[in-house]
Amino acid sequence: MLILNNNLKKIFKIFLLKFLFKFFKKSFISFNISKDEYALDHFENTIKKNSLEDNLKLCSKLKKKYPDNILIQLRYTIYSFLSSKKECFDDIKSYWSQREKFISKNKLEDLDIGLIEQANMCGSLGNYFYIFTLIHSVKLNCVKYKQINLIKDANNKFTNPTLARYFKKHIKVLEGNYFKAMGKLIEILAIPILFFCPHKNTATEIHLASNLVYQERIKQNKLGYFELEQEDLKKGKELIKNFGIDENQWFVCLHVREAATKVDNEHFRNFQIQEYFKAIKYITDQGGYVFRVGDSSLSKLPKMKNVIDYANHEEKSDFLDVYLGARCKFTIATSSGFWTIPYYFNKPILMTNSQMSADYYSLTEKDFFLPKFLKIKNNAEYVSVEKYLQPPQGVVSIEVESLIKNYKLEYTNCSSEDLYMATKEMNKNIDGKNFWSDEQIKCKKEIENNNNIFKVNLKPFANIPKSYLSKLRDLNSKKV
């Protein structure tokens, strides 16, 4: 880890002398606060009291009234995306262009050094995925930055120290105790990869950016997945014996997000583990083991053959979280953070019950994407996969209930049989000798031909299970 050294102190001395006064000079003269600063502070203090729609309207007014305040422009762009606006992808491009002009106008190029905020490694586990995307963007020259610099408060801890160790091989960690005092300054210069990311001459939503970067990884033949260090491999092989299995035994990781995980407004990502029991039995019948992963708040599993309730096991650790993800045959996941660990180590993912295009475009050709079933506006037919992935329904909103109500969306979760059939298809295609049906090939072409709304050249990689497409066709034929 890079502790505050002379070079870093010099950077932030420039920060203070060159930029703090220049940008906020009105605040320092006679302790006056400029109107745009006051408006932004007032908005920040009322966010929690307002609905998403109200916050977007307020941001829109502030954006028009104070077009030169870059932080107000950033707030509007974020709320445009969170509101699932179809125009949000244009808004992201527009903001990044404005941000680059702001950097140039204020001669801040020397300070625009690829900063990212600590929430990417000290917050949700899935946030590491955004850094993984940016790491490859830098290596493949898809962004102007030559180095990624994570700003971290000395008192904050990494979400997973073992995983952080692998990431710190590719980034610098700037650790200090006074970053809060420069919060707005850092926010201006930091890359907001929790929401979107630059790519070449533009910017887009972060998961879509990961798709663009993956295309470049293939083009340049630099996939760049992580590999377990030899010491970790040796340690893991010993620890896994504590579960009563041989080090060479194949296993699958299973992560099903449950309502008990946390109090949140994203219940659409929560599911019943019981619906996955038939898929579990299929794996164990094939001679495999299943590690049920997740945090200790998850419900306890009944005793089942060759199933290890690792989430509630005394041996659970941040090290084993990484080891299991890196060594599994594949992972069955819902839209939550764990699936990204096997992703970093090039392990296949079966993403289940997802309703987000962000998940789909994050996956690769070795992965499967199993959507829910969706009807829109009382239409008797279930929508096709390409329509399922489009906004507004395909873009996650922080007020999902309102989104579902306003657009009359009716989702149906995958059944136990759907999950079993998809798991079976994943396991049979794991050797890479995939023979896709005409229906699967047609589906991917339709996704590619109808994704222009995202304003970037996305390529569909993940496959939709044959069983899902067959069921979708059968359901709709019965409606005729």
Q: What is residue 317's three-state secondary structure?
A: coil
Look at residue 388 in the predicted model and tell me its pLDDT. Answer: 94
Q: What is the pLDDT of residue 269?
A: 76
Residue with the two structure tokens 């941001």? 59
Q: Are 73 and 95 in contact (CB under 8 A)?
A: yes
Cβ-count burial of 368 within 10 angstroms (0-12 exposed, 13-18 middle, 19+ buried)?
buried
Map residue 444 onto helix, strand or coil.
helix
- pLDDT value of residue 296: 87
pLDDT averaged over 10-residue windows placed end to end, the chain, 480 residues: 48 51 47 77 88 91 94 94 88 95 91 93 95 97 96 93 98 80 81 95 94 97 97 96 92 88 63 93 98 92 96 96 98 94 98 93 96 90 94 76 83 96 94 79 95 93 96 84
| Residue 121: HSE in the Cβ half-sphere, 13 Å Cα cutoff | 28
- Strands 289-292, 307-308: parallel, antiparallel or unpaired by DSSP? parallel
Does residue 142 contact residue 456 with C-beta atoms inside 8 Å?
Answer: no
Peptide bond into 392 cis (omega under 30): yes
Residues 6+ apart with CB under 8 A from 423: 279, 282, 283, 332, 350
Q: How far apart are CA 9 and CA 398, in angstroms?
A: 38
Tokens of 30: 């006679």
Give the distance from CA 304 to its chain's centroid.
Answer: 32
CA distance 389 to 468: 15
For residues 422 and 469, what is the distance between their CA atoms, to the nearest angstrom? 11
> Residue 368 and residue 349: Cα distance in Å, rounded?
6
Report the distance separating Cα 162 and Cα 171, nearest Å.
15
Q: Which residue has the tokens 């998403």?
A: 52
- In contact, 294 and 257? CB cutoff 8 Å: yes
Query: In the prediction, which pLDDT does 84 show?
Result: 81
At 178 the pLDDT is 58
Q: If DSSP codes are grouped into helix, strand and coil, which group holds residue 262?
A: coil
